[in-house]
């Protein structure tokens, strides 16, 4: 029934060079919106429909501001470029995002997760996510040729926002990658593949499930690939690495995305003291005449 609209949606995303991930997000959000409207004719969608839907997501369903703004972006794109309807930002405003600090973990916990992984492939994945600060989508798209042993770097091609960038390759991760490669030397286009499907890359959702499962086994209730990425950045800050270098390795376009790691790093390791802990210099007063 709505197939023609989603064909048009794909076409409009492709002509604007939007990523497959963006297309998938837009498609999901618009499907949910159509379901909420009772599957009425899309040509009859109004701005009030969009406003009421986003209001319900936030107030009734208690969705995060980031989630609601993502839906806002999807509907705005759909209204403007698929339905060719005007969009009024005042009628359907974006929300001020709540600033939630990233969750991180200690190196000791990362080591526990690597040790707990039964398959060498999963050990290598956890090590690479943490030691290189990769997004899970970037890890799943890695090709064997993206690992540069000579310079100890990882090349990220077409990362988020279509940005290529380079990041670190740790010796520990390289050793695990080498062991994984030798255990499964099948010729393939992607570095990490299913053991029964060497021509297909791992799905990000599969990696997320694996990381959560192993995290739970070692007592980390918030384990997630992004937790490993956040931990990498936070620990880099603690080591005194410049924010410019961290921004480059993380593939951030906006420096604000990198600066937040200052707030989650261990300030004690950075040598910062509270002003209350600095000694107060007492002023020397003049002696009274009767004391002279």
| Owner of token pair 């380079």 | 166
| Active-site residue, selected from the candidate residues 121, 123, 235, 252 | 252
Phi, psi torsion values for 80, nearest 5 degrees: -75, -45
Token pair, residue 34, equals: 């159509």
| Active-site residue, selected from the candidate residues 8, 10, 58, 226 | 226
> Does residue 67 have an active-site annotation?
no
> Does residue 226 have an active-site annotation?
yes
Q: What is the per-residue DSSP string for 53-79?
A: HHHHHHHTS---HHHHHHHHHHHHHII
| Active-site residue, selected from the candidate residues 160, 224, 259, 260 | 160
| Active-site residue, selected from the candidate residues 112, 229, 230, 235 | 229
Number of CB atoms found within 10 A of residue 107's CB: 10
> Does residue 261 have an active-site annotation?
yes
Number of CB atoms found within 10 A of residue 2's CB: 13
Q: d(Cα 222, Cα 211) in Å, to the nearest integer? A: 10
- Angle made by CA atoms 8, 12, 18, in degrees to the nearest 5: 130
Helix (H) or strand (E) holding 167, with range, is: strand 165-168
CB 265, CB 258: distance < 8 Å: no
| Active-site residue, selected from the candidate residues 135, 141, 230, 235 | 135
Token pair, residue 216, equals: 């739970």
Phi, psi torsion values for 177, nearest 5 degrees: -65, -40
> Does residue 252 have an active-site annotation?
yes
Catalytic residues: 135, 160, 226, 229, 252, 261
């Amino acid at each position: 029934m709505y197939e023609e609209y989603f064909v048009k949606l794909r076409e409009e995303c492709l002509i604007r060079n939007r990523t497959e991930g963006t297309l998938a997000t837009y498609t999901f959000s618009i499907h949910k919106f159509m379901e909420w409207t009772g599957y009425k004719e899309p040509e009859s969608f109004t701005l009030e429909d969009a406003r009421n839907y986003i209001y319900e997501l936030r107030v009734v369903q208690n969705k995060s501001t980031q989630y609601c703004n993502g839906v806002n972006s999807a509907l705005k794109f759909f209204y403007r470029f698929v339905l060719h309807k005007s969009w009024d930002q005042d009628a359907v405003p974006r929300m001020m995002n709540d600033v939630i600090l990233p969750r991180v973990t200690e190196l000791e916990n990362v080591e526990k997760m690597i040790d707990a992984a039964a398959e060498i492939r999963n050990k290598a994945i956890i090590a690479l996510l943490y030691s290189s600060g990769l997004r899970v989508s970037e890890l799943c798209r890695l090709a064997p040729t993206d690992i540069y042993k000579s310079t100890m770097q990882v090349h990220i091609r077409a990362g988020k926002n279509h940005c290529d960038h380079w990041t670190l390759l740790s010796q520990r991760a390289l050793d695990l990658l080498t062991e994984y490669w030798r255990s499964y030397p099948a010729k393939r286009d992607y570095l990490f593949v299913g053991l029964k499907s060497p021509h297909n890359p791992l799905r990000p959702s599969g990696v997320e499930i694996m990381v959560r499962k192993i995290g739970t086994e070692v007592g980390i209730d918030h384990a997630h690939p992004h937790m490993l990425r956040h931990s990498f950045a936070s620990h880099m800050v603690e080591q005194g690495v410049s924010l410019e270098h961290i921004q480059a390795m993380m593939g951030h376009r906006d420096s604000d995305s990198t600066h937040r790691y200052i707030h989650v790093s261990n300030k004690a390791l950075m040598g910062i003291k509270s002003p209350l802990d600095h000694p107060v210099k007492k002023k020397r007063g003049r002696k009274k005449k009767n004391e002279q």
